[in-house]
A and B are shown apart, each in its own frame.
Chain A
Amino acid sequence: MFGYYMELALRSLKRNPILTALMVLAIGLGIGASMTTLTVMHLLSGDPLPGRSGWLFYPQVDPKPAEPHELPGQLTYIDAMNLWQARRADRQAIMVGSTVKVRGAVQTGAKPMGLHTLATTADFFPMFGVSFIRGGPWSAADDLNKARVAVLSRSAYERMFRGGDGIGQSIRMGSWDFRVVGVIEDWRPTPHFYDLDRESYGQGDDVFIPFLTSRDLAELGITGYSLDCYGTTTDDLHLENQPCVWLKFWVELDSPAKVLAYRHFLDNYSREQQMEGRFTYASAPRTALPDVMRWLDRNGVVPADARLKAWIAFGFLLVCLMNTTGLLLAKFLQRGAEISVRRALGASRWQVFFQCLVEAMTVGLVGGILGLVLAWAGLWGIRQTPADYADLAHLDVSMFATTFVLSVVASLIAGLLPAWRACHIAPAIQLKTL
């Protein structure tokens, strides 16, 4: 029976090849263009750590004197160290980045390179789920001992050691040697959520060293990409006691109860500091604990117009779906007579229904496949552009499935509505009007 319906559908579509082509083209263009745009937007607004980001939080406390301002997006050294040492979260890490000139081992004769370097603490790697291909992270003891150890990204490691074994070897940063203890798979979270003061969609970090070591060797100049001082400073390298916010601090809290407890902890901490007179404002504690997505949102990492473009892509899809629906409706609404004849000849309502469904679905499916091809071509086009995120533009299966299903459902609705209508008209009356 299905084969017969298929044949009927094809015959009906062939009767008007230009219009059929129009419908298929409209669906295909709609899916193709909106998929391409949505994929890019999805990429730009995407979750940098799917599955993990809901448990990662960014504690904020406000050390600045009372004067209306936004809650600062970074911490002072004192606050970061206090929160880190309190160890009230499951995991916690301080981090701050800079570009540092690094040389591979002298004997390999490597040229110096300016590399994105992150000074952080041991929890960084397990907290963000960074995977190692050689060696491992440094230990908590290394943090406290200000050990001169380093973890490299795969690409930095390969450039520095050119196939040789670099674990245990040393690299030179500034005028100090660091021992390589681990190599991570190149990690480029998009957006670069843990330090938003760098380009948000650029390369990942290449060298990781313990935070306290970087303080010990302050002349390395790792003071972040966005030093914000709110009082009189006397030194821009030794920032330990300067009134400057410059450190990022992330914590992992794996249950809502812990999140609540941590909020209380932050408020109490702020009150304590107010009482001690370090925080000079008298109002209620100014703290916040956004999770990753809220933090990105608050920083406008997805530019407002990128979101606007996502809306536009959705709107475009809507236009295409309505277009197809309109065309199919117009086509099927003419069918009253034909359906009546079939009904009069003994076809049941269900059979008529099913027949319309097959025809509509054929159009929807062919359009969907054309859309897939167009989306694939569109994404290929994006990969040829020089934008930062270009090489990340690949077909997102779940998003494609959504649009595909949408197009088929829309064409089904368009096909079924007239069929349903036609079925409820007594065949005799319809036939008389012929």
Chain B
Amino acid sequence: MQLRHVLAALPRHKLVCLLVVVEIAVAFAILCNAVFIIRERMAQMQIDTGIAESQLIYIHNDGVGEDSNAPLVQRNLQALRGLAGVESAVAMFPLPLANMSINFRPWLSPDMKRRGPAVGMFVGTSGYVDTLGLKIVQGRNFSDAEYAGMDPTWKTLSPAVIVTRDLADKLWPGESPIGKAFWRGPNRGYTVVGVVERLVRGYLRRDFVPEYSALFPVEPVSFVSSLYVMRVAPSEGDRLVREASELLLKLNPDMLIDAKGSYADMRADYFRQDASLVWLLALVCLAMLLVTALGIAGLANFWVQQRRRNIGIRRAIGATRGDVLRYFQIENFLIVTGGIVVGMLFANGINLFLMTHYELPRLPPVYFPVGAIALWLLGQLAVLGPALRAAAVPPVVATRSV
């Protein structure tokens, strides 16, 4: 019954109605796509690096320079281990999400014909697998004898390597990776001695799988002299970062410490750009919802004003307050629904365009009903005030001239 009245009245505001429908459609399309991006980004920001994040602190410096200075690394590590509260200290390269990474593509046969995907290289001194808190799920950790030097092209001399579960499954699907080999050069073959559950590489790239990492053992050399990593109790992190850097500067007056802190700081630093863009997008979404709500409320206000007399007449011939209230609510519902229907087409179109041009994943369909409910609620909320004012119009208005 109400519906008929509403439908009869709508064409009288063709232009404005159309405008609001398009506005809601665009808002809907943008909202769906924006929330989708925000969620994708947030998922990436929550990536599990596989290491004992809360217990690690680091000091990054300019290194010892020539290889002949490498004994300094050993001395520095000894000194760091002597600090009260430091459970273990190692020199390594790099940490996950440290924004630096050396990647290589392993050959799977000694004749260098078959090549695997890009793998992130980790090297570290004795005990670094335990310091990072990595869980060995198959095979064993490096033995002390396996920590050896590096050649001038930054390949370790020891033939032992530990790979991540994901990399092992990729290179040797369905087989036990222990004892399998890959090559990084004609005379640089590596044999897998162990598998760790998970380790994410130094930086994330769209074309790299983050979990494809390989760990190599190395003795203190100049290549690993820039990054000291210590495992400490989480509550003592701040104090130990300070004490460790003071200690290092005392031992090495020439050292240049360019970054230090807890691993959490490093991780936050890696994602700071994403974080600021997520904020920006979220604010834009919020502002858009606000503007849309303001627009709906404003229009409804005008319409109530314009129709005071009509409302009065309807009240006079028997419509209840509830009828008038529902009239405006139904009208709003219809307009918003129109907007949502058109908006779904828009959202899909935008998403298809982005999928083909920018390799974005497909917008999951669940965004449509959720977005629709959100906009319906927003519309009803915005129209409630004006609709209540309309319901309060007394029937006596009908008898007065405008």
A316 and B277 CA atoms in complex are apart in Å by 16
The chain B residue sitting closest to A28, CB to CB, is B291
A390 and B153 CA atoms in complex are apart in Å by 37
Q: Are A37 and B360 in contact (CB under 8 A)?
A: no
Q: Are B276 and A387 in contact (CB under 8 A)?
A: yes
> How would residues 317 to 351 of chain B score, 1 for a CB under 8 Å from any chain A CB and 0 otherwise?
00000000000000000000000000000000010
> How would residues 280 to 301 of chain A score, 1 for a CB under 8 Å from any chain B CB and 0 otherwise?
0000000000000000000000
A112 and B19 CA atoms in complex are apart in Å by 64
Known: A232-B186, A235-B153, A322-B22. Contact between A390 and B276, CB under 8 A? yes
Q: Are A327 and B26 in contact (CB under 8 A)?
A: no
The chain B residue sitting closest to A111, CB to CB, is B256
Q: Are B280 and A315 in contact (CB under 8 A)?
A: no
B200 at the interface (CB under 8 A from A): no
Q: Are A319 and B27 in contact (CB under 8 A)?
A: yes
B23 at the interface (CB under 8 A from A): yes
A103 and B19 CA atoms in complex are apart in Å by 66
The chain B residue sitting closest to A386, CB to CB, is B272
A430 and B273 CA atoms in complex are apart in Å by 60
B10 at the interface (CB under 8 A from A): no
Q: Are B277 and A309 in contact (CB under 8 A)?
A: yes
A307 and B16 CA atoms in complex are apart in Å by 31
Within 8 A of B (CB), among A317-346: 318-320, 322-323, 325-327, 329-331, 333-334
A233 at the interface (CB under 8 A from B): yes
A432 and B29 CA atoms in complex are apart in Å by 45
Q: Are B16 and A326 in contact (CB under 8 A)?
A: yes
Q: State the total of A-B contacts with C-beta under 8 angstroms.
A: 151
A371 and B354 CA atoms in complex are apart in Å by 29
Q: Which of B19, B297, B358 contacts A305 (CB 8 A)?
A: B358
Residues of B in contact (CB 8 Å), total 62
A431 at the interface (CB under 8 A from B): no
Q: Are B23 and A319 in contact (CB under 8 A)?
A: yes
Task: Quote the shortest CB–CB distance from A99 to chain B (angstroms).
Answer: 9
A313 and B20 CA atoms in complex are apart in Å by 19
Q: Which of A34, A304, A385 contacts B272 (CB 8 A)?
A: A385
Q: Are A29 and B287 in contact (CB under 8 A)?
A: yes
Chain B residue numbers with a CB within 8 Å of A305 are: 37, 40-41, 277, 358, 360
Q: Are A330 and B37 in contact (CB under 8 A)?
A: no
A318 and B185 CA atoms in complex are apart in Å by 57
A17 at the interface (CB under 8 A from B): no
Q: Which of A113, A309, A388 contacts B273 (CB 8 A)?
A: A388
Task: Quote the shortest CB–CB distance from A108 to chain B (angstroms).
Answer: 15
A368 at the interface (CB under 8 A from B): no
Task: Quote the shortest CB–CB distance from B18 to chain A (angstroms).
Answer: 9
Within 8 A of A (CB), among B55-74: 62-63, 65
Q: Are A304 and B358 in contact (CB under 8 A)?
A: yes
Q: Are A323 and B281 in contact (CB under 8 A)?
A: no
Q: Are B19 and A40 in contact (CB under 8 A)?
A: no
Chain B residue numbers with a CB within 8 Å of A382 are: 276, 280
Task: Quote the shortest CB–CB distance from A364 to chain B (angstroms).
Answer: 16
The chain A residue sitting closest to B103, CB to CB, is A226
Q: Are A304 and B284 in contact (CB under 8 A)?
A: no
Chain A residue numbers with a CB within 8 Å of B360 are: 304-305, 308
A5 at the interface (CB under 8 A from B): no
Task: Quote the shortest CB–CB distance from B186 to chain A (angstroms).
Answer: 6
A233 and B358 CA atoms in complex are apart in Å by 35
Q: Which of A33, A101, A306, A313 contacts B62 (CB 8 A)?
A: A101
Chain B residue numbers with a CB within 8 Å of A309 are: 37, 277, 280-281
Within 8 A of B (CB), among A2-26: 18-19, 22-23, 25-26
Q: Are B37 and A308 in contact (CB under 8 A)?
A: yes
Task: Quote the shortest CB–CB distance from B267 to chain A (angstroms).
Answer: 13
A98 at the interface (CB under 8 A from B): no
Q: Which of A29, A101, A329 contacts B290 (CB 8 A)?
A: A29
Within 8 A of B (CB), among A69-127: 101, 111-114
Q: Which of B84-92, B234-242, B301-309, B370-378 is found at the contact surface with chain A?
A: B301-309
Chain A residue numbers with a CB within 8 Å of B258 are: 114
Chain A residue numbers with a CB within 8 Å of B276 are: 382, 385-387, 390
Chain A residue numbers with a CB within 8 Å of B357 are: 304
> How would residues 286 to 297 of chain B score, 1 for a CB under 8 Å from any chain A CB and 0 otherwise?
011011101101
B112 at the interface (CB under 8 A from A): yes
Q: Are A312 and B284 in contact (CB under 8 A)?
A: yes
Q: Are B354 and A323 in contact (CB under 8 A)?
A: no
Known: A112-B256, A327-B295. Contact between A233 and B23, CB under 8 A? no
Q: Are A323 and B154 in contact (CB under 8 A)?
A: no
> How would residues 218 to 237 of chain A score, 1 for a CB under 8 Å from any chain B CB and 0 otherwise?
00000000000000110111
The chain B residue sitting closest to A32, CB to CB, is B287
A101 and B358 CA atoms in complex are apart in Å by 39
Q: Are A236 and B272 in contact (CB under 8 A)?
A: no
B34 at the interface (CB under 8 A from A): yes
A170 at the interface (CB under 8 A from B): no
Q: Are A387 and B19 in contact (CB under 8 A)?
A: no
Q: Are B16 and A329 in contact (CB under 8 A)?
A: yes
Q: Which of A26, A308, A322 contacts B33 (CB 8 A)?
A: A308
Q: Are A323 and B359 in contact (CB under 8 A)?
A: no
The chain A residue sitting closest to B23, CB to CB, is A322
Task: Quote the shortest CB–CB distance from B277 to chain A (angstroms).
Answer: 7
A381 and B27 CA atoms in complex are apart in Å by 24
Q: Are A319 and B299 in contact (CB under 8 A)?
A: no
B116 at the interface (CB under 8 A from A): no
A355 at the interface (CB under 8 A from B): no
Task: Quote the shortest CB–CB distance from B185 to chain A (angstroms).
Answer: 7
Interface centre among B30, B65, B185, B275 (most CB of A within 10 A): B30
Q: Are A40 and B280 in contact (CB under 8 A)?
A: yes
14 contacts between A and B (CB under 8 A): A22-B294, A30-B291, A33-B283, A40-B280, A112-B254, A114-B258, A305-B37, A306-B277, A307-B358, A312-B30, A312-B281, A331-B302, A385-B272, A434-B402
Given A26-B298, A305-B360, 17 more pairs with CB closer than 8 A: A19-B298, A19-B301, A22-B298, A112-B62, A112-B256, A232-B112, A235-B152, A304-B360, A308-B360, A309-B37, A309-B277, A312-B30, A312-B34, A322-B26, A333-B16, A385-B276, A386-B272
Residues of B within 8 A of A (CB): 13, 15-16, 19-20, 22-23, 26-27, 29-30, 33-34, 37, 40-41, 62-63, 65, 99, 112, 152-154, 185-186, 254, 256, 258, 269, 272-273, 275-277, 279-281, 283-284, 287-288, 290-292, 294-295, 297-299, 301-303, 305-306, 350, 354, 357-360, 402
